[in-house]
């Protein structure tokens, strides 16, 4: 019996993409890393071509990273994959599930509908309303609708003058169609990444920030550590990821003096936090999961 051929959509040369492709090759002898910018959807023949390979002929596609920077163009790539999925191609995670999380607002609304606790959040196109919300919150973060790893975020504090806040809002509005304003929460210098595979809990790691940055992302000098969550905290993560039906994901959770809150659910999830923080090869676990699913 021929072993299945699974392609990995991601960023060629990047560790998380390449390690997943390598884990699949170890199990099947086949490896293909796909850059979506070079993919062509042929609607006349219902082919999805990458170079000389028709991806529709593979047994499945894993989307590790659909683009380096989120934008409305990223949603176009999701639509291409969704069309092929409708024709019977197995895609991990499902295209509709990923699509909800490319835009921060749609992801937030799904969590809100699922009664998942989040920091206070306001959405508006009005600079006047945005200014009022920032002053009401005291300290707030402006978050672009299309961004990852805290890129493009702006923090405003109660110590900022009215003029400074208004100038920041005006500059932000020129680059963004709408204000997404979230009240800051008091962290103890860390937040949590809770990893789920096929809806089942895998592990939790902490991202511990350095003293020079307001956020804990690894891009800003943070590091990973193991964290042992309570059953109640695991259930919160399960509730959050359950809003999206993802094959593999990481739920970002903060522990505050008012209880835990969810920042966001990742459309793709990360492998490095599970490896460095928990000692778990999540790429290998994901490869095994996908191979089991395509065999059904």
User: How much is the mean pLDDT over the chain?
Assistant: 93
**Per-residue pLDDT averaged across 40-58, rounded?**
96
DSSP codes joined into one string, 125-139: S-HHHHHHHHHHHSS
Distance CA 239, CA 242 (A): 5
Relative orientation angle of helices 127-137 and 162-175, to the nearest 10 degrees: 130
- Distances in Å between the Cα of 12 and the Cα atoms of 16, 17, 66, 68, 250 are 10, 7, 11, 11, 22
pLDDT digits 0-9 by tens, 148-185: 777 889 999 999 999 999 999 999 999 899 999 999 99
pTM of the model: 0.91
Domain ranges of the chain: 6-102, 121-183, 186-281
Distance CA 15, CA 12 (A): 9
CATH 3.40.50.300 describes domain 6-102:
no
Q: Which fold has domain 186-281?
A: D-amino Acid Aminotransferase; Chain A, domain 1 (3.30.470)
pLDDT at res. 26: 98
**Per-residue pLDDT averaged across 95-113, rounded?**
95
pLDDT digits 0-9 by tens, 240-272: 999 999 999 999 999 998 899 999 999 999 899
What is the four-CA torsion angle of 284, 285, 286, 292, rounded to 10 degrees?
110
pLDDT at res. 214: 45
pLDDT digits 0-9 by tens, 206-219: 998 765 544 445 55
pLDDT at res. 170: 96
Please give the class, per CATH, of domain 121-183: alpha beta
Q: Do domains 6-102 and 186-281 have the same CATH topology?
A: no
**Per-residue pLDDT averaged across 42-63, rounded?**
96
pLDDT at res. 162: 97
**Per-residue pLDDT averaged across 179-192, rounded?**
90
């Amino acid at each position: 019996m021929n072993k299945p051929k699974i392609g990995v959509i991601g960023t060629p040369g990047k560790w998380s993409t390449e390690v997943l492709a390598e884990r699949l090759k170890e199990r099947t002898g086949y490896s293909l890393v796909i850059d979506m910018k070079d993919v062509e959807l042929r609607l006349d023949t219902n082919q999805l071509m990458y170079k000389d390979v028709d991806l529709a002929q593979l047994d499945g596609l894993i989307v590790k990273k659909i683009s380096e920077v989120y934008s409305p163009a990223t949603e176009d790539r999701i639509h291409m994959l969704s069309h092929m999925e409708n024709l019977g191609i197995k895609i991990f995670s499902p295209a509709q599930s990923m699509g909800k999380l490319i835009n921060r607002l749609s992801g937030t609304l799904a969590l809100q509908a699922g009664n998942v606790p989040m920091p206070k959040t306001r959405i508006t196109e009005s600079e006047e309303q945005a200014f009022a919300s920032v002053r009401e919150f005291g300290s707030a973060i402006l978050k672009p609708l299309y961004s990852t790893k805290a890129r493009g975020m702006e923090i405003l504090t109660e110590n900022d003058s009215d003029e400074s806040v208004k100038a920041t809002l005006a500059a932000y509005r020129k680059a963004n169609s709408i204000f997404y304003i979230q009240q800051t929460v008091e962290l103890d210098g860390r937040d949590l990444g809770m990893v789920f595979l096929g809806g089942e809990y895998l592990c939790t790691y902490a991202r511990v920030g350095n003293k020079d940055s307001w956020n804990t992302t690894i891009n800003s000098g943070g590091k990973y550590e193991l964290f042992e969550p309570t059953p109640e905290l695991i259930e919160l993560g399960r509730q959050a990821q359950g809003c999206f039906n993802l094959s593999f994901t990481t739920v970002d959770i903060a522990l505050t003096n008012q209880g835990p809150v969810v920042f966001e659910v990742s459309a793709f999830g990360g492998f490095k936090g599970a490896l460095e923080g928990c000692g778990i090869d999540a790429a290998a676990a994901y490869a095994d999961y996908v191979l089991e699913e395509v065999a059904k």
